[in-house]
């Protein structure tokens, strides 16, 4: 079975509320949507979320990169999952610029890879999670979970709204909650207030989104310690990331990398320089399902932890892909995603796979990604960027 064509779109997803953090704020997410059609008419869908401040990509740049990519490489015959894995591992995107960290194009790579996995999964009548036992690199982290629990989040808002948001997290029964920091001048008082609302049982981690100069990180973290935080995510700019090795010696709080963890190049650099305790792995940021498996296995081998993160504004396509990944990978420290109906004004997919009370969510065992894309939603939300035949 061969791929015969792809369709590309820019997907515009309005958010229910503004999402703010130290790097940016947004009311809408513009994503890359790829449709993959097999010769029997089966169609699979994939999604990526370009973030220029993370991997250097823009939505328009991703489309330009796709248009410059040689599609003949997708013309091979795939008879089983092993063939599909080889195809996903081997395909290469057009080089648009110098890319020393091997991350430019990761959102596009993710969208293309997921469209292939979804299409062939539907063709084989099997869910995408069936590939994990076949991926040799994933051996250290393989598992089979029937249920996972996602975490909540408190973003940067006015104090009253933050209290309401924290109260919702507590009432909804979350075990874990991320709090965005790096904007307020009184982060210690702010976090103390949020902790009082959340209560003692909920595990709090904070995300600074590169807000602090590396020489100020220790002094910025110290006022947060009374709130009993579990880790600090990306406290300083990627350009200063090597300085976090010294920060880790001075303060007893785990450091997680996000913007500085986009590829195996970044992972190896972090391991060699001792700059972190955890990786934040996001499917789109890290180049797709398979490369994310590689990063989790790498972290496991070197005694580091990891979470599966998400980008605000992911549709049900990436939510489903994240669910397949999360229920197949062991020892995920924190889990983000599947916010669909809580965050998006309009839904692209069905059935609804938004997490339930307490962040609980079940394994997906339907073929492919296990969600269907609504053609009417594509008409409303997606801007066509062309049809591309595979010669």
Tokens of residue 236, six digits? 């300083």
Q: What is the pLDDT of residues 194-246, one digit of tens each?
A: 999 999 999 999 999 999 999 999 999 999 999 999 999 999 999 999 999 99
| % of the chain with per-residue pLDDT over 70 | 98
Whether the per-residue pLDDT at 266 is higher than 70: the answer is: yes
Give 207: exposed, middle or buried? Use CB within 10 Å, 0-12, 13-18, 19+: buried
Top CATH class of 136-372 equals: alpha beta
pTM score, whole prediction: 0.96
The arithmetic mean of pLDDT across residues 370-383, rounded, is 97
Q: What is the pLDDT of residue 359?
A: 98
Lowest mean pLDDT among 17-21, 59-63, 158-162, 286-290: 17-21
Please say whether the dihedral angle defined by the alpha carbons of residues 79, 82, 83 and 87, taken in this order, is positive or negative: positive
3-state class of 180 per DSSP?
strand
Looking up tokens 């955890």, which residue turns up? 278
Given this model, what pLDDT does residue 24 score?
Answer: 67
All structural domains of the chain with their residue ranges: 3-125+374-389, 136-372
- The domain 3-125+374-389 having CATH identifier 3.40.50.1100: the answer here is no
- Whole-number Å distance between alpha carbons of 15 and 30: 11
Rounded CA-CA distance 11/315 in Å is: 9
Q: Which two tokens stand for residue 224?
A: 């947060």
**pLDDT given for residue 19 in this prediction:** 77
Whether the predicted pLDDT of 135 surpasses 80: yes
| Pair of tokens at residue 185 | 């001048």
Cα separation of 56 and 230, whole Å?
29
Q: What are the residues whose beta carbons fall under 8 Å from the beta carbon of 19, sequence distance 6 or more?
A: 25, 26, 155, 312, 313
CB within 8 A of 356, min separation 6: which ones? none
Task: Tell whether the model's pLDDT for residue 329 goes beyond 90.
Answer: yes
pLDDT tens digits for 15-45?
998 776 666 667 899 999 999 999 999 999 9
Per-residue pLDDT band for 143 (boundaries 50, 70, 90) equals very high
The upper half-sphere exposure of residue 163, i.e. CA atoms within 13 Å in the direction of its Cβ, equals 7
Dihedral (CA of 350, 354, 355, 357) sign: negative
Distance CA 61, CA 359 (A): 35
Three-state secondary structure call for residue 343? helix
Residue 129 has pLDDT above 90, yes or no: yes
């Amino acid at each position: 079975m061969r791929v015969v064509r792809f369709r590309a779109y820019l997907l515009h997803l309005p958010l229910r509320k503004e999402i703010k953090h130290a790097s940016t704020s947004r009311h809408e997410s513009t994503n890359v949507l790829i449709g993959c059609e097999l010769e029997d008419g089966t169609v699979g869908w994939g999604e990526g979320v370009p973030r220029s401040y993370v991997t250097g990509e823009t939505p328009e740049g991703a489309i330009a990169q796709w248009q410059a990519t040689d599609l003949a490489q997708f013309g091979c015959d795939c008879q089983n999952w092993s063939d599909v894995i080889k195809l996903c591992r081997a395909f290469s995107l057009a080089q648009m610029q110098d890319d020393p960290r091997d991350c430019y194009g990761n959102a596009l790579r993710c969208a293309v890879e997921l469209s292939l996995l979804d299409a062939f999964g539907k063709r084989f009548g099997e869910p995408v999670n069936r590939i994990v036992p076949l991926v040799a690199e994933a051996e250290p982290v393989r598992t089979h979970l029937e249920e996972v629990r996602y975490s909540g989040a408190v973003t940067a808002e006015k104090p009253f709204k933050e209290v309401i948001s924290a109260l919702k997290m507590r009432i909804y029964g979350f075990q874990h909650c991320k709090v965005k920091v790096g904007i307020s001048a009184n982060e210690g008082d702010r976090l103390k207030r949020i902790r009082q609302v959340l209560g003692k049982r909920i595990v709090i981690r904070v995300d600074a989104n590169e807000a602090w100069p590396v020489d100020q990180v220790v002094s910025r973290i110290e006022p947060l310690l009374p709130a009993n935080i579990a880790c600090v995510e990306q406290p300083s700019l990627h350009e200063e990331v090597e300085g976090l090795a010294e920060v880790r010696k001075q303060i007893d709080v785990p450091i997680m990398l996000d913007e500085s963890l986009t590829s195996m190049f970044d992972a190896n650099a972090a391991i060699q320089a001792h700059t972190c305790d955890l990786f934040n792995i996001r499917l789109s940021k890290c180049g797709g399902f398979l490369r994310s498996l590689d990063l989790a296995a790498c972290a496991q081998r070197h005694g580091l932890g990891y979470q599966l993160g998400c980008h605000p504004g992911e549709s049900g396509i990436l939510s489903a892909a994240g669910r397949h990944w999360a229920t197949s990978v062991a020892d995920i420290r924190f889990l983000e995603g599947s916010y669909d109906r809580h965050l998006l004004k309009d839904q692209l997919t069905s059935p609804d796979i938004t997490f339930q009370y307490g962040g609980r969510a079940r394994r997906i065992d339907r073929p492919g990604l296990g969600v269907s894309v609504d053609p009417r939603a594509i008409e409303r939300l997606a801007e066509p960027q062309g049809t591309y035949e595979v010669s």
